[in-house]
Amino acid sequence: MNWPVAPILLPLFTALAALFWGRPGVGRRSLVAGSAAAQLAVSLGLVCATLEGRIFVLGLGAWPARFGIVLVVDLLSALMLALSTLVALASVLYAYAESPTRAEHPLRAPLTQFLVMGINLTFCTGDLFNLFVAFEIMLIASYALLTLEADDWDIKHAFPYVGINLFGSALFLSACGLTYALFGTLNFAQIALRAAPCADDPRLWVLALLLIVVFGIKAGLFPLYYWLPNSYPTLPIPTSALFAGMLTKVGVYVLLRIFGTVLPHELAFAHTLLAVMGGATMLLAVMGAIARNFIRGILSFHILSQIGFMVLAIGLFTPLSVAACILYIIHHIVVKSSLFLIGGVAMRLNGTDDLERMGNLWKRTPWLGALFLCQALSLAGLPPLSGFWGKYLIVVAGLEQAQYALVAVSILASILTLFSMVKIWNGAFWTGSDRVPVRTSDWRWRAMTAVVAGLTCVSLAIGLGAEGVVQIAIEAAERLLDQHAYADAALGFLGKTAANPIP
């Protein structure tokens, strides 16, 4: 019964222990890494259990679901939990490989754990206001991480991030108020039941638009994304991998949850809006990526471009396209984090990530080159790598809906993605130049590459075992769209009442 709270409590207690432990050392490092591995194990256990059709529901404080806050873990939540804990584990291990204990900032480990706690709470929660709280935990930890090891140049770029997210939080709070005024509840399941008959109510449309803006800011959709591509490159590499992998995908997950489970399915105008915004995002962001000439900057713009694909898939809003979106999230989180980490290794070897001053990496470190090729081509969507299947399903879903323009845009964006990946490949790996040093004498890059190799194996497994993953994604999409099953499960938590003393 208490399993949904485990992925939240583990990071919380780890963060506290790390805070009290004080200076970083081998002991503290093993504690945090052990906890990250335990979180991954718990999440995988949740995935296995939810695959069998279970939905975990926990009413906090034993209150009945109608009065208290519920945590609900269904298949999609469990998948997201597994991905976030996987990326967190990789980020933690990479940070250990990257720097010695004496160079580690003492607050980075606790803050990262608080960030993971906020992300996991977002995936578990079944309550709109609790979702707001989860966002705040996540955002405050991310503000601190963004400015923790920053000089004033970095802080200047962190400022728009903080500013727009504070604005987004204020909007989110007003959306919560509007929801409560409309439905008298903030529980997802109850909103779903009460909103179902009023799909034609203009007040519900306003709410839907407000939620699109709020989560569009979080996910980085087209008119709202300028805060991202300048702030992410200022982060330390392991943290930026975690941010790139998870934070925007949290926005996509919430869009899926809100439009799939909570709001009525007949909001066609909102879906169309999402699809158009997704199409614009993928094209404009990939153009931004082409214009950049350093690895982290290119990859930061690609986060946005890929978000466009996912949101387009949500906007098409058929069971198949929602499944495609879930598949794309699974693929993207792993690939994007590992690309940031590969960029970090390359940066360490060359001493810079400016493409004009990099080179020689393919000759000196072919394994790193192979890993990069694998992940970059996967990002561009070449078969049989994992990115292909998500894009294929999105294109199929788009053609079924006769959205030819959006399909054409997505294919064009894929080609441009391939182009900018080739740009990194040429600049960093293929170019041979006598003046560029490759510092392979520094043994740390081997450990860092090993972490990336682990993530790449996961990504390859997703690509090669696509049949199974697609089945899981379709299953998750069906459960996500089944509002009545969700409501029955969530409201079935009766809690501790006079008639029912033991929940």
Partner 1 sequence: MSGLRSYIFKAAVRLLFFLVNVFALYLLLRGHNLPGGGFIAGLASAIALVLLSLAIGLEELHRVMRFDPMRMAAAGLAMAAVTGAAPLLFGRPFLEHFDAHLTGLPLLGELHVGTALAFDIGVFLVVVGIACKIMFALGKSTQRLRALVAEEERRYSAPVEQPIEEEPPIRAATNPSTPSPHVS
Q: Which residues bind partner 1 (CB under 8 A)?
A: 1-2, 5, 9, 12-13, 16, 19-20, 22-23, 58-62, 102-107, 148-149, 151-153, 157, 229-230, 233-234, 288, 291-294, 296-297, 347, 352-354, 356-357, 495-496, 503
Could you count the other beta carbons within 10 Å of the beta carbon of residue 113? 27
Task: Tokens for 483, please give them.
Answer: 């509002």
By beta-carbon proximity to partner 1, the closer residue of 72 and 256 is 72
Q: H-type helices in 222-318, by residue range? A: 228-231, 237-242, 248-257, 268-291, 295-316
The minimum distance between CB 237 and partner 1, in angstroms, equals 12
The minimum distance between CB 111 and partner 1, in angstroms, equals 11
By beta-carbon proximity to partner 1, the closer residue of 25 and 454 is 25
b/e for 483-496, b at 16 or more Cβ within 10 A?
Answer: beebbebbbebebe
The minimum distance between CB 61 and partner 1, in angstroms, equals 4
The minimum distance between CB 219 and partner 1, in angstroms, equals 20
Structural contact between residues 377 and 424, judged by C-beta atoms closer than 8 angstroms: no
By beta-carbon proximity to partner 1, the closer residue of 2 and 441 is 2
Task: Tokens for 318, please give them.
Answer: 């058929």
By beta-carbon proximity to partner 1, the closer residue of 294 and 317 is 294
Dihedral sign of CA atoms 117, 118, 119, 123 in order: positive
By beta-carbon proximity to partner 1, the closer residue of 334 and 489 is 489
For residues 231, 234, 235 and 236, what is the CA-based torsion angle, rounded to 10 degrees? 170
The minimum distance between CB 188 and partner 1, in angstroms, equals 18
By beta-carbon proximity to partner 1, the closer residue of 61 and 163 is 61
Please name the residues in contact with 109: beta carbons below 8 A apart, sequence gap of 6 or more.
15, 18, 24, 28, 29, 32, 92
By beta-carbon proximity to partner 1, the closer residue of 74 and 104 is 104
Q: In a 10 Å sphere around its CB, with 0-12 CB exposed, 13-18 middle and 19+ buried, how is residue 103 labelled?
A: exposed
The minimum distance between CB 416 and partner 1, in angstroms, equals 16
Strands (E) across 320-442 are located at none
The minimum distance between CB 304 and partner 1, in angstroms, equals 12
